[in-house]
């Protein structure tokens, strides 16, 4: 019976250092400055006396331009991932996202972007939200809701509120 020969390592590693395998990273420190330049651009341009919006800078377009997979860039910004790049992540979170938000705000305020889509984009790519403050301790609101319900259902809700209040 023939015995299989032991496999030789395919890559040279330093003694005591575990080879994690995989392809080497495409990250370069210069990408941080390139990211800032990509996002930090004038939001519009004047052409023939008319103001036209530029494309909103996005991480997807940056990745495509640099020929880097979007998932790779997301890995660089994810603290939990082995490929995490602190400087790149901080640059994206602090500078690039702020520049992107500013471009969106300026073009939306000038009417260069569709207002409904601008709102959708703002909620999805920035910290801007459409919130209404509702004071749930205001009994007038509760009374309005109870008055809108059928009487038997409203009575059941009143009983549940009393029971909950008695527990406290």
Tens of pLDDT, residue by residue over 106-140, are 999 999 999 999 999 998 888 888 776 555 566 77
pLDDT, tens digit, 9 for 90 and up, residues 70-96: 999 999 999 999 999 999 999 999 999
C-alpha–C-alpha distance, residues 104 and 102, integer Å: 5
Q: Which residues contact 127 (CB under 8 A, 6 or more apart)?
A: 101
pTM, 2 dp: 0.62
Q: Are 153 and 147 in contact (CB under 8 A)?
A: no
Write 129-136 long-range contacts (CB < 8 A, 24+).
none
C-alpha–C-alpha distance, residues 103 and 85, integer Å: 26
DSSP 64: H
C-alpha–C-alpha distance, residues 103 and 48, integer Å: 21
């Amino acid at each position: 019976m023939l015995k299989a020969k032991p496999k030789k390592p395919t890559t040279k590693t330093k003694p005591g250092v575990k080879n994690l395998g995989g392809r080497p990273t495409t990250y370069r420190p210069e990408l941080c400055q390139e990211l800032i330049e990509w996002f930090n651009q004038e939001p519009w341009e004047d052409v023939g006396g008319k103001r036209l919006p530029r494309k909103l800078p996005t991480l997807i377009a940056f990745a495509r331009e640099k020929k880097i997979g979007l998932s790779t860039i997301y890995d660089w910004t994810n603290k939990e991932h082995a490929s995490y790049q602190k400087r790149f992540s901080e640059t994206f979170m602090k500078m690039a996202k702020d520049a992107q938000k500013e471009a969106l705000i300026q073009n939306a305020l000038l009417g260069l972007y569709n207002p409904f889509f601008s709102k959708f984009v703002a909620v999805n790519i920035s910290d801007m939200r459409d919130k209404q403050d509702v004071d749930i301790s205001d009994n007038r609101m509760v009374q309005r809701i109870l008055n809108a319900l059928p009487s038997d259902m409203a009575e059941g809700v009143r009983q549940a509120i009393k029971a909950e209040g008695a527990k406290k």
